[in-house]
Chain A
């Protein structure tokens, strides 16, 4: 009977896992990978695992003289599920190091979980929630990618100085990543004297943005839009169809690889939109162009260029490999030596140098971009400015920055 057969199979696998003693050979290091393969983030999740795969392959699945074993798990963007998978990787699959997760809320949950498992090491994948390292950090949680606010460094200054915008309206998803990105943009823009007369927060789950667009005030220089994925495409289409003329400023997700690779008439609006992110396919540095070529060769059915999650997971894995090499793969002291080495890792990546601050948060280059079109019609992000070594407090004194509180609907504000 099919059902019984399936049930027997499960019980068999489960029993085998139960009885199998954790046979970690002395010369193997187990590394867990957690990304989101469920739900609407699936493309980003695939990119994340591609990044890990490339890094592992380049190191030949060895580091510090030991073999590397990679165990993958998928979450669906929900913190509860991410926690369950992390527990499985640590408790059942006996990984020593966990690389992930991908989304903001999951990152906060994993950070808290990390505090309860001090003997294991957690390296963030792509989660960009500020508080994961800024507030109550965990000594075994490392993040080699910039957070959501850092991603917008340079953009506020750029649109004020170079584009000459003085009054900008904000349309953003109504959740913490939106608040964080808007904070990153407004910190610089307001400091220069720019004004944000209206902030339009759109709840998650909205598909028809027309009335939000209708609320955009008439006399503004530009609209800053923080939406991603399918929402980005929906918004751009509806904005275009509404006949609105004001130019757009993009949050990091609005013009990322997935949107630029999607097909449809909304692409008309994209050219010229400024944005900022931790990587951009238009980085002129030959090292980065070689990186893009490497990606395209290895993953012919991937996107038109490596995306930010690919890069983040790639360098996270590279950092782990480098630290393992430094300590000769010795994790015998619950990984204490390994974590000390990991904190001091300085990565010389294709997109610049990445180092960690005292909260184990990445300090990295940020690229201010504008969308441009190539001869073959493909869209890419041309780099207009490089902001070197951006730290988590965006160059401001740490105490003052933290004192302003977590980003929210009303913080920051400069009407």
Chain B
């Protein structure tokens, strides 16, 4: 697998390196933050795209872009650290508010927070440039090469994705991760064992915030800009689609879903014409949700096991 990822950019045309693969990694990272919370915490958060946006906007403010050419900005590692810190802080804040609700209410709460951030970005013209957002972001250079060059950017995104994926898997087996999963399965029992369930959940949101922040930074560099549309309702639903299609039960679902989504987004037009693209995506999403609650990975698993594994209700079942 690692070999394939390393060799990939040398085998395909340039468009496929960045616009398909690198972008899929970036989307996957943001979806990973959602899948992490869903798989190990049993919590669905629709605020992850907005949290990625917090990091993206922070980095944009501290970078050189079309409107502030010539003025002094902090060195880019500092700006990136600030962005990551902002994203993590946003994650913690969202967590603190959201964990007071359960299940579907948490979904609504995070959706509302996401809309608040969206409208704030749209309406604030002084700091966040309102409707137009930031454009012409200058991506940092090192040793004469811009980070945005196709090969470099691809390896950067791939490395970030692999690292975060490994981090999530590692965390799942630490006491923290196990406590999270315990809280997912039976919060009352965890509380009676002395665990501060709420605190664990907020911390989980913080971790997810950090992951989303990395995605936000890479996304800003990918697009060369950011605007309210990047964190609006449809962008949020896109991340949900990515995570669900791939499968919410395991972190790899985030990346599988991302690749599927990017491929559909780019090539569905060739199949059905640009007119009914949304119907296609909606049908695909619906079919996946109906046929396999944990997405494509669940389907694959069940196929391999002969299609009789009926216990694969996955994370999407709520307990009453």
Contacts and interface: CB of A to CB of B under 8 A. Distances in A.
Interface of A: 2-3, 6-7, 9-11, 13-14, 17-18, 22, 37-38, 72-74, 76-81, 83-84, 87-88, 91-92, 104-105, 108-109, 112-113, 115-116, 129, 135-136, 174-176, 203-205, 408-409
Contact of A80 (B69, B230, B284): B230
Contacts of A9: 271
B274 A73 contact: yes
Interface in B129-159: 130-133, 135-136
A78 B23 CA distance: 17
A176 to B, nearest CB: 5
Q: Which 9 A-B pairs have the closest CB atoms?
A: A91-B15, A78-B229, A175-B131, A74-B274, A112-B136, A92-B15, A87-B19, A112-B135, A176-B132
Nearest to B230: A80
Given A14-B263, A91-B15, A79 B135 contact: yes
B195 interface: no
Contacts of B260: 7, 10
Interface in B262-297: 263-271, 274-275, 277-278, 284, 287-288, 291
Nearest to B300: A4
B225 A18 contact: no
Given A14-B267, A80-B229, A87-B15, A105 B131 contact: yes
Contact of B271 (A3, A13, A78, A204): A13
A109 B223 CA distance: 9
A55 B273 CA distance: 21
Interface of B: 12-16, 18-19, 23, 66, 69, 119, 122-123, 125, 130-133, 135-136, 223-225, 227, 229-230, 232, 234-235, 260, 263-271, 274-275, 277-278, 284, 287-288, 291, 299
A79 B19 contact: no
B227 A78 contact: yes
Contacts of B19: 84, 87-88, 91-92
B229 A2 contact: no
Nearest to B290: A3
A338 B291 CA distance: 53
Which label, helix, strand, loop or mixed, suits the secondary structure of the A interface? helix
B133 A105 contact: yes
A2 B122 contact: no
A112 B225 contact: yes
Main secondary structure of the interface of B (DSSP, over half): helix
Contacts of B123: 174, 203
A84 B135 contact: no
Contacts of B234: 76, 78
A72 B229 contact: no
Contact of A83 (B122, B223, B277): B223
Nearest to A409: B125
A14 B19 CA distance: 13
Given A10-B264, A13-B267, A113-B224, A18 B13 contact: yes
14 contacts: A3-B287, A6-B284, A11-B263, A73-B274, A78-B229, A79-B227, A84-B265, A88-B15, A88-B266, A112-B136, A115-B136, A136-B69, A176-B131, A203-B123
A402 to B, nearest CB: 14
B12 A109 contact: no
B135 A205 contact: no
A112 B137 CA distance: 9
Nearest to A173: B131
B122 A203 contact: yes
Given A14-B267, A78-B232, A108-B66, 9 more contacts: A2-B287, A10-B263, A10-B271, A38-B278, A78-B230, A116-B224, A136-B69, A136-B136, A205-B122
Nearest to A87: B19
Contacts of B299: 3
A313 B154 CA distance: 35
Contact of A108 (B23, B132, B267): B132
A53 to B, nearest CB: 14
A81 B266 CA distance: 11
A92 B266 contact: yes
Nearest to A21: B13
A83 to B, nearest CB: 6
B287 A18 contact: no
Contacts of A78: 227, 229-230, 232, 234-235
Contacts of A13: 267, 270-271
A2 B280 CA distance: 13
A17 B270 CA distance: 10
Contacts of A79: 133, 135, 223, 225, 227, 229
